[in-house]
Amino acid sequence: MAQNTSLQLGLIGDNIAQSRAPLLHRLAGDQNGIAVRYDRLVPPARGESFDQVFDHCAGSGFRGINITYPYKEQAVARARITDPLVRAIGAINTVIFDGDGPQGFNTDYSGFMAAYQAGRGTQAPDTVLMIGTGGVGRAVAFGLVGLGVSELRLVDRDRAKAEALAHDLTTSAPDVTVIVSTDAAEAAIGATGLINCTPVGMVGYDGTPLPRSAMGGATWAFDAVYTPTDTQFLTDATAEGLHIISGWELFFYQGVHAWALFSGTPLDQSALRQALLKAG
C-alpha cells in the first residue's frame, strides 16, 4: 500500500481505559511521519453493541482496529479470514478495512510466540498449564503448539469452552496431549509452564487464578495481563523462582505485528520499546 500521512485506528473492548495501545501506535506513527488517531471504543459506555461499534468503524474511515476482551471470538463472524491457522484459532484481535471488506488477523498468536522466544529462546514449553480459554487463550494455545508444547492442560470456569479448544487443538496437532481440568492447583502439579489467560489480575479484576502454593516445581510463567505488569500471579511466580514472561511483552509484539498490518511501514523496535518505557 502507498504510505498514508495519517491513520485512523481504534480499539474495541471493555475495561480499556488504561490500555497502552493508543500510545504504541502513535509512537509507531511518529517513527514513520504518520499522524495516528487511535480511539478507545467501549461498547457498553457508548450504549451500543459490539456489532454497532464495529459497523461505525467500518463506515467512518478507520484503516483498522484492534479487538480485545471480551470480543475476540465474536469478531470472527464480522471479518474475512484467509489464514487457515487463524480460522482454527477462532479468534481475531486485528481487523483491516479495505476495498474487499473487513479482513481479520490474530497478532496475539504471533505476538505470544515472539514474546516467548525473546524470553526463553529455543527452549521447548514442555508441559504447560493454561488457565483461561477465551480469545487470547486460544491464540496462546496455538502459539504453544507452534513452539513445540508436549502436553497442554486447560482450565476454565466454562468447561465447555475448554473442551471446545481441546478438540480444535487435537484436530490441528494430534501429537500434542491436551487435558481439560476443573482444578487449576491440581493441574499445576508437574507442569513446567504456568499461564494466565484470564482477566484476573488486571485493573478492576484483582486477585490471581492460581495460588502461590501451587507454583512450586514449575520453571516459567506467563501472564497475558499487562495492566498492571506486576500482577499477583507474576509476583507470586517470581517469589517461587520462576522465569517470568510479562504480558507487556505480548502487548508489545502483538502491537508491532498489528502496526505492520495497519501501515506496511517498518519499525525500529528497540527505539519503540524505549519510548514506551520512558512514557511510563
Which residues are known catalytic residues? 71
Number of Cβ within a 10 Å radius of residue 211? 13
Per DSSP, helices labelled H in the chain are 21-31, 43-46, 50-58, 84-89, 107-120, 135-147, 159-172, 184-187, 232-239, 247-263, 269-279
Strand order in the sheet with 243-245: 177-181, 151-155, 127-131, 193-196, 220-223, 243-245
| Residue 3 zone, left/alpha/beta (φ > 0; ψ -120 to 50; rest) | beta
